[in-house]
């Protein structure tokens, strides 16, 4: 308030008196009405103080352990009780997200509220405030209230949609699981490549790893110990060398322990994980003498390509998976990258990869004995097979290798250390054995160190039976409309 008086008209009584000018509203008041105006401002200050106290109480309730009794968390708990086991996981994710966001809100607003507390105390003690001050402070407190009201509700809405989607997905998975019981493969496989002991002849393999089957059912094989990529045409008795095959080395016509191969359908070229040479290369044809180095100095074991032509590479040394267009040496991190470990944000020696139509990445997390799914843009993965330590139970894996996923979201894993192929369902605790599991051996119903795994357009499974130096095909007995690869 302005203390100096002068003759003027009071804005309330409209009489000419000695008046005082309010610095806030710029109006004139006589002495009696000046006190009335001050009382009005004091009442507004009291209301603002009460509003501020309410804001402080909300912040306190958002902090642990009180936050676990908040309405937001209670809603999450209600969802959890109504959902299946898969949805319970989503509820816990939501709960942690709300608590995390609550902490963030406290961190953001607590310093502001503390500062505001001091300001309110100061102007109250000094009686030095006006309408402009109150308007600004009221606006600030109102904005913080709105922010607090909207933030948790936004999280609830977001996770509600996620839970609804997962409930629908769970219904589909349950239905497909019932169908999968009718979907079986022949117990005995057919040798479609190799099977003539370890060797480097045209009809032999030595430690086959990754495999790729094209639309004509020709098989491309990373023939590890022969340092070559071979193509075994459908029905053929021997292979054609399409890359390497000139001894172990770094020369343009050589490979060094290749572990995986995929085809870039746009260019009809092969992309190869040349693991021993620590590089990923493009081989442009059988007669190519100058392969293109796409990525150098990388401990890459597995490759995958999505439906948009992005290349995915696993990096065992850095425990991560990156994606990019072929030729993009840096790429974008899509899985792991948080050091070696077993947490949901970590990987431990990632090897084989699969990418579905939604660009979710499935990673064989070898030394964690699990398969992880990283949805597009996710900051952490979800275990979809194994993850319960090394073992041979149905909820365990032992050094898993090849992986692929059908359109129903069912995960197929080459369980190398157990000599079997496991079919898993996202959200289920254990899988089922669909091939092998009959002890390690050379019989047609046995596997010995299965590595690469894929299927053709008819749903027949192909397994790189590595230590038996062969690739076996297991024919589908009961077909299903949902089986075709994503």
Reported residue count of the chain is 486
- Cα–Cα distance between 395 and 194 in angstroms, integer? 32
Percentage helix, strand, coil, to 5, in the chain? Answer: 30, 30, 35
DSSP one-letter string for 421-442 = EEEEETT-S--EEEEE-S-S-S
Q: How much is the pLDDT for 151?
A: 58
Would you put residue 46 in left (φ > 0), alpha (ψ -120 to 50) or beta? alpha
Question: For the chain, what is the total number of helices (H) and then of strands (E)?
Answer: 4, 27
DSSP one-letter string for 435-471 = EE-S-S-SSTT--SSEEEEEE-TT--EEEEEGGGTEE
Going by their DSSP bridges, the two strands 300-305 and 311-315 should be labelled as: antiparallel
Contact 300, 330 (CB under 8 A): no
Run of H or E including 269: strand 269-274
- Encode pLDDT of 443-465 as tens digits: 999 999 999 999 998 889 999 99
Whether pTM > 0.75 for this model: the answer is: no
Contact 279, 266 (CB under 8 A): no
How confident is the model over 264-286, as a mean pLDDT?
Answer: 92
Half-sphere exposure of 153 (CA within 13 A, CB side): 6
How confident is the model over 151-163, as a mean pLDDT?
Answer: 55
Model confidence at 484, pLDDT cuts 50, 70, 90, reads very low
Count of C-beta atoms within a 10 Å radius of residue 8: 16
Say which residue, 90 or 135, is predicted with more confidence.
Answer: 135
Q: What percent of the chain has pLDDT over 70?
A: 83
Q: How much is the pLDDT for 177?
A: 46
- Encode pLDDT of 289-319 as tens digits: 678 999 999 999 999 999 999 999 999 999 9
């Amino acid at each position: 308030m302005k203390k100096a008086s002068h003759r003027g008209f009071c804005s309330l009584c409209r009489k000419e008196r000695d008046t005082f000018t309010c610095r806030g509203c710029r109006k004139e008041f006589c002495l009696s009405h000046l006190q009335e105006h001050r009382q009005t401002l004091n009442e507004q200050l009291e209301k603002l103080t009460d509003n501020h106290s309410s804001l402080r109480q909300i912040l306190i309730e958002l902090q642990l352990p009180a936050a676990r009794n908040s309405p937001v968390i209670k809603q999450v708990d209600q969802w959890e009780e109504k959902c299946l086991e898969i949805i319970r996981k989503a509820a816990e994710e939501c709960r942690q997200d709300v608590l995390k966001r609550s902490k963030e809100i406290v961190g953001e607003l607590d310093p502001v509220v503390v500062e505001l507390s001091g300001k309110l105390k100061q102007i109250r003690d000094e009686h030095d405030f006006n309408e402009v001050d109150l308007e600004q402070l009221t606006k600030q407190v109102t904005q913080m209230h709105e922010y607090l009201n909207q933030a948790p509700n936004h999280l609830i809405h977001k996770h509600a949609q996620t839970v609804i989607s997962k409930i629908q997905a769970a219904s589909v998975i349950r239905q497909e699981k019932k169908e999968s019981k009718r979907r079986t493969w022949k117990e005995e496989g057919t040798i479609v490549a190799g099977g003539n002991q370890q060797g480097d002849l045209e009809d032999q393999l030595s430690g086959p790893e990754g495999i790729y089957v094209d639309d004509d059912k020709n098989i491309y094989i990373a023939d590890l110990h022969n340092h070559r990529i071979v193509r075994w045409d459908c029905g053929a008795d021997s292979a054609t060398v399409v890359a390497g095959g000139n001894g172990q080395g770094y020369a343009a016509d050589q490979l060094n322990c290749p572990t995986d191969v995929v085809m870039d359908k746009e260019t009809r070229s092969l992309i190869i994980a040349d693991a021993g040479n620590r590089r990923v290369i493009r081989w442009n044809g059988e007669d190519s003498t100058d392969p293109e180095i796409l990525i150098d100095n990388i401990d890459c074991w597995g490759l995958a390509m999505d439906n948009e032509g992005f290349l995915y590479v696993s990096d065992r040394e850095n425990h991560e998976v990156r994606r990019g267009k072929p030729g993009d040496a840096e790429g974008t991190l899509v899985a792991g990258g948080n050091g070696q470990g077993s947490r949901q944000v970590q990987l431990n020696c990632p090897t084989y990869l699969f990418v579905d139509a939604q660009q979710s990445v499935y990673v064989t997390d070898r030394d964690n004995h699990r398969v992880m799914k990283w949805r597009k843009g996710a900051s952490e993965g979800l275990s979809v097979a194994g993850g319960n330590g090394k073992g041979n139970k149905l909820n365990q894996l032992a050094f898993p290798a090849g992986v692929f996923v059908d359109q129903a979201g069912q995960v197929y894993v080459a369980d190398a250390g157990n000599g079997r192929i496991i079919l898993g369902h996202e959200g289920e605790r254990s899988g089922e054995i669909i091939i092998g599991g009959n002890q390690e051996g050379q019989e047609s119903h046995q596997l010995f160190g299965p590595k690469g795994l894929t299927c053709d357009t008819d749903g027949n499974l192909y397994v790189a039976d590595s230590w038996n130096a062969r690739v076996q095909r297991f024919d589908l007995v009961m077909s299903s409309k949902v089986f075709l690869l994503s």
